[in-house]
Amino acid sequence: MRKLKTEVIHNLIAAHPTSAEVDFIVWLSRYQNDAGMVRGVYYKSVCKDLQIAPQSFYNVIRSLEEKEIIKVSKDNAYFGDWDIEIMGNDFSKASLRPGKAAENYLDMGKDVFYDPDFFALKANEKLMTMLYMIYGSAGSGRYHIGTQNFFEKYTGLFRVKKRALQNYLNRIRKFFSIGVKDRQFWIRPLQKSQGRESGHTDRSERAKQIAGSLCRRFRLENPVQALSAIRELVEQYTYNISADLEPVFMESIKDLLSRRNGSANPRRWKRREINKKFLHKIFLEHLPKEALSQGMISPV
């Protein structure tokens, strides 16, 4: 579910984040569940994707937590691994579930949020881009504001001088058509920015994060094979079932390894390989009854 509520973006602007902090929120938005939670956030994965140092990662999550943009929890059983929630980004209510029309959120699956040019922007330029993408998705698709009102509003919002705002507008022209007519700024997202990133889907991004997290947390053997098996099952059921599937998969793998090793104690597990068909069978055993009744279950 690649979405950010407008309120979250306004909270982020008010918090005056660094560029790396904005990047991290964008990263989290790719892998969150319907409640805005990403489980098993691994520092090495974030550092690789965002090209930051480990210390920068720790600085970012500490700062965003202090600013009350994210909520962080840590299970000491998993080294270097956090569960992180984007605060105020809960889409689990029926009226805001994926696929429903809404104007109070930003679609983070757009091309612009995978574009290296976006990540090269400064923090305020990224936030301005996010704001105008929201405005461009509503109504006529164009945002207009009086030039005087523009400078009064955004110098206060971003705590910068008029000259800085002029530079921001020049920098975000990569993604917007910006013109002045009748003493008003007219801003419209370019068509190339509005498209959805073709290499990924909400389903595939969620499956990628869940499968990687589970393989790492359970230290599974043959990780490439295990990743493929788990990812395929996750993709099969994500968004077809309303239940939060990640805890179900965790319990299923734990059950599978316990049966395979004859012990529920992870310290005694010598065999950590998984079989896709066996995992699927155990997964269906752990699936809540209400999910089974939805009629979206495939046979093993």
Q: Are 18 and 59 in contact (CB under 8 A)?
A: no
**Residue range 172-193: average pLDDT?**
90
Residue identified by tokens 């939670």 is: 37
Confidence class for position 215, pLDDT limits 50, 70, 90: very high
Residue identified by tokens 């007519």 is: 181
The residue count for the chain: 300
Whole-angstrom Cα Rg for the chain: 22
What is the predicted pLDDT for the residue at 291? 62
For 115-132, write each residue's pLDDT tens digit: 999 999 999 999 999 999
Dihedral sign from CA coordinates of 60, 63, 66, 67 = negative
Confidence class for position 141, pLDDT limits 50, 70, 90: confident
**Residue range 212-232: average pLDDT?**
91
User: For residues 236 and 192, what is the distance between their CA atoms, to the nearest angstrom?
Assistant: 30
Q: For the chain, where do the domains classified as CATH 1.10.10.10 start and end?
A: 3-108
Average model confidence (pLDDT) for the chain?
A: 87
114-194: in CATH 1.10.3470:
no
Is residue 66 predicted with pLDDT exceeding 60?
A: yes
What is the predicted pLDDT for the residue at 100? 44
**Three-state SS for 238?**
strand
Confidence class for position 74, pLDDT limits 50, 70, 90: confident
Question: E-strand spans in the chain?
Answer: 3-5, 37-42, 70-74, 81-86, 105-107, 143-146, 176-181, 184-189
100 burial class (0-12, 13-18, 19+ CB within 10 angstroms)? exposed
User: For residues 80 and 76, what is the distance between their CA atoms, to the nearest angstrom?
Assistant: 9
For 155-172, write each residue's pLDDT tens digit: 999 999 999 999 999 999
3-108: in CATH 1.10.10.10:
yes
For 17-59, write each residue's pLDDT tens digit: 999 999 999 999 999 988 999 999 999 999 999 999 999 999 9
